[in-house]
């Protein structure tokens, strides 16, 4: 089954609730061991926060380890839903993503966000806390690809990620593109020769900006990642 079409007349527009993060399980904890095949990602094609999880899954070669599906691109008052455009929910047959929340916590009052990491074995949400999801995908299942969160650079990566959140992800602040452009003048990625979690945090915001070729290094960097097969196919 899938949800009926978006119907703003009947259901009104989606009303964003207060962000709450009651689901903050971690892969690798006793409750959620890092077992291949056990977890599923619900993401939205249009959501840059969810896009990060898609990128990391691909970078680490986890396509056969963690399954993934998309909610529809549009919402009405019923929130994220599964429709024909992106397909039915292959795991639970839900029509609406809120069913995953209510299966986890009956009467759950918070807002319904993507990405969601779902535990197929216990039938509950592990996490909807997007920064934890990418870190856990990057570090808990082995997998190939770059070390996105190298132990000796975690503090620096966390610090830059925080800056990226406040100066780019939430809206570009004056001067921030110049700072990034300067940083990238002598390196292909934010931390040097290898892609890290910081690049995964930054790029989904950059590809949504109007063209900025005056920031040549940053512009080239955005194009470089666009060519990367873990990044490019995640964006229209
Ligand atoms: N701070 C965000 C992080 C993730 C996020 O923004 N996801 C968006 C889509 S890009 C979402 O599903 N938000 C829920 C909402 O709009 O109520 C949130 O929880 O809303």
**What's the pLDDT tens digit per position in 135-148?**
999 999 998 999 99
The token pair at 43 is 């993401």
Number of domains in the chain: 2
Q: What CATH number is attached to the domain comprising 53?
A: 3.40.30.10
Which residue's CA lies nearest to atom 16 of ligand 1? 16
Q: What CATH number is attached to the domain comprising 200?
A: 1.20.1050.10
Only one residue has tokens 């132990």, namely 151
pLDDT of residue 15: 81
CA atoms within 13 A on the CB side of 122: 15
pLDDT of residue 113: 94
**What's the pLDDT tens digit per position in 148-206?**
999 999 999 999 999 999 999 999 999 999 999 999 999 999 999 999 999 999 999 99
Q: Who has greater pLDDT, 19 or 106?
A: 106
> How, if at all, do strands 124-127 and 66-71 pair?
unpaired
Is 3 inside a domain boundary? no
Same domain, 157 and 92: no
Is 145 inside a domain boundary? no
Q: Which residues line ligand 1 (CB under 6 A)?
A: 16-17, 19, 47, 49, 111, 113-114, 130
Give the CA distances from residue 42 to residues 18, 107, 176, in Å, rounded to whole numbers and listed in that order.
20, 20, 31
**What's the pLDDT tens digit per position in 16-75?**
777 676 799 999 999 999 999 999 999 999 999 999 999 999 999 999 999 999 999 999
Distance 159 CA to ligand 1 centre (A): 22
Pick the atom of ligand 1 nearest to 111's CA.
17
Which residue's CA lies nearest to atom 4 of ligand 1? 49
Same domain, 118 and 158: no
| SS3 (DSSP) at 43 | strand
User: Residue 141 phi/psi, 5° resolution?
Assistant: -110, 10
Can you give the residue range of the structural domain that contains 106? 8-140
Q: Which of 140, 172, 194 is the last residue of a domain?
A: 140
Distance 72 CA to ligand 1 centre (A): 14
Which of the four pLDDT bands, split at 50, 70 and 90, describes residue 236? confident
Partnered with residue 81 across adjacent β-strands are 96
Which of the four pLDDT bands, split at 50, 70 and 90, describes residue 98? very high
Give the CA distances from residue 108 to residues 11, 31, 81, 126, in Å, rounded to whole numbers and listed in that order.
20, 20, 17, 15
């Amino acid at each position: 089954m899938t949800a009926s079409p978006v119907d703003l007349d009947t259901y009104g527009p989606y009303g964003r609730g207060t962000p709450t993060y009651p689901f903050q399980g971690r892969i690798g904890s006793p409750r959620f061991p890092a077992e291949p095949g056990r977890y599923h990602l619900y993401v939205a094609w249009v959501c840059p926060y969810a896009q990060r999880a898609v990128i990391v899954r691909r970078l680490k070669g986890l396509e056969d380890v963690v399954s993934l599906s998309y909610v529809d691109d549009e919402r009405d008052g019923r929130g994220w839903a599964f429709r024909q455009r992106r397909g039915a929910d292959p795991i639970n047959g839900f029509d609406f993503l809120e069913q995953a929340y209510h299966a986890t916590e009956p009467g759950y009052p918070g807002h319904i966000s993507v990405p969601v990491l779902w535990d197929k074995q216990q039938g509950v949400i592990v996490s909807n806390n997007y920064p934890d999801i990418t870190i856990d995908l990057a570090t808990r299942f082995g997998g190939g690809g770059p070390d996105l969160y190298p132990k000796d650079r975690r503090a620096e990566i966390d610090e830059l990620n925080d800056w990226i959140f406040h100066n780019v992800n939430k809206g570009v602040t004056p001067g921030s593109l110049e700072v990034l452009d300067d940083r990238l003048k002598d390196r292909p990625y934010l931390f040097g020769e290898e892609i890290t979690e910081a690049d995964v945090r930054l790029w989904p915001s950059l590809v949504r900006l109007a063209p900025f070729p005056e920031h040549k290094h940053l512009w080239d960097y955005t194009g470089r990642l666009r060519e990367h097969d873990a990044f490019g196919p995640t964006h229209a």
